């Protein structure tokens, strides 16, 4: 199955991030699939946990770089471009539409509370991973991906102005490859930027379309 079979809607942001100079901006020219592969003798859950922690940290770092532009006025919804927006699911399971900065703040706070709970996200030796650990990881990964898609869709000009495209593209490609390798990736969260993702796939050989 081709993971990115549908065509991406055209918008102003896409015209920027689909430019060759933007797409090809990178800090790494290697094989991300080798970087993502589970090391020999390492427990799968430990490998997933270590990487999700890193992805969360760097996502927070990059978002802070554009946070001054991501305001309630500029981003009244968690836009993913092309008339697509993400909703937050509250503690009662209700879907709620939020301004982008509030959505990201909810996500960061929620994730940090999970990371601080050893019964949910163990980081100390001797504590077993809970049976639903993969479900928790997928939820965190989904929101990390949404923050990236929002940054590319709504703040690509600021990313370019701050000269962050090489760093952001490299981390995003790593994130995509890791999600593909361990079945964390959800197509529906990438619809608005799938042309860009396909370009990264071709550049890095991420094997996303298989």
Q: Is 157 annotated as a binding residue?
A: no
Q: Is 177 annotated as a binding residue?
A: no
Contact 137, 44 (CB under 8 A): no
Widest distance between CA atoms in the chain? 51
Report residue 171 as tokens.
């981390």
Please tell me the distance from the alpha carbon of residue 154 to that of residue 63, in angstroms, as a whole number.
12
β-bridge mates for residue 89, sequence order: 95
Q: Is 14 left (phi over 0), alpha (psi -120 to 50) or beta?
A: alpha
Element (H, E) at 177: helix 165-181
Q: Is 36 annotated as a binding residue?
A: no
Cα–Cα distances (Å) from 67 to 18, 25, 101, 121, 141, in that order, read 23, 22, 8, 27, 20
Please tell me the distance from the alpha carbon of residue 156 to that of residue 153, in angstroms, as a whole number.
6
Element (H, E) at 42: none
Known binding site for Zn(2+): residues?
Answer: 70, 75, 150, 155
Q: List residues forming the annotated binding site.
A: 70, 75, 150, 155
């Amino acid at each position: 199955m081709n993971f990115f079979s549908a065509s991406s809607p055209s918008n102003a942001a896409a015209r920027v991030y689909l430019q060759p100079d933007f797409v090809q901006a990178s800090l790494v020219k290697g094989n991300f699939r080798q970087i993502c592969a589970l090391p020999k003798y390492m427990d799968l859950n430990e490998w997933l946990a270590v990487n999700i922690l890193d992805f969360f940290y760097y996502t927070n770092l990059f978002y802070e770089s554009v946070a001054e532009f991501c305001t309630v006025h500029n981003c009244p919804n968690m836009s993913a471009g092309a008339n697509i927006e993400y909703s937050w699911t509250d503690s009662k399971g209700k879907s709620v539409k939020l301004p982008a900065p509030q959505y990201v703040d909810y996500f960061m706070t929620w994730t940090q509370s999970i990371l601080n709970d050893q019964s949910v996200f163990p980081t100390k030796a001797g504590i077993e991973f809970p049976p639903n650990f993969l479900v928790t990881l997928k939820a965190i990964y989904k929101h990390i991906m949404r923050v990236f898609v929002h940054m590319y869709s709504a703040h690509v000009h600021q990313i370019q102005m701050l000269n962050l495209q090489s760093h952001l593209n490299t981390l995003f490609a790593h994130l995509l490859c890791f999600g593909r390798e361990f079945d964390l990736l959800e197509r529906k969260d990438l619809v608005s930027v799938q042309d860009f993702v396909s370009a990264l796939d071709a550049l890095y050989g991420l094997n996303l379309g298989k």
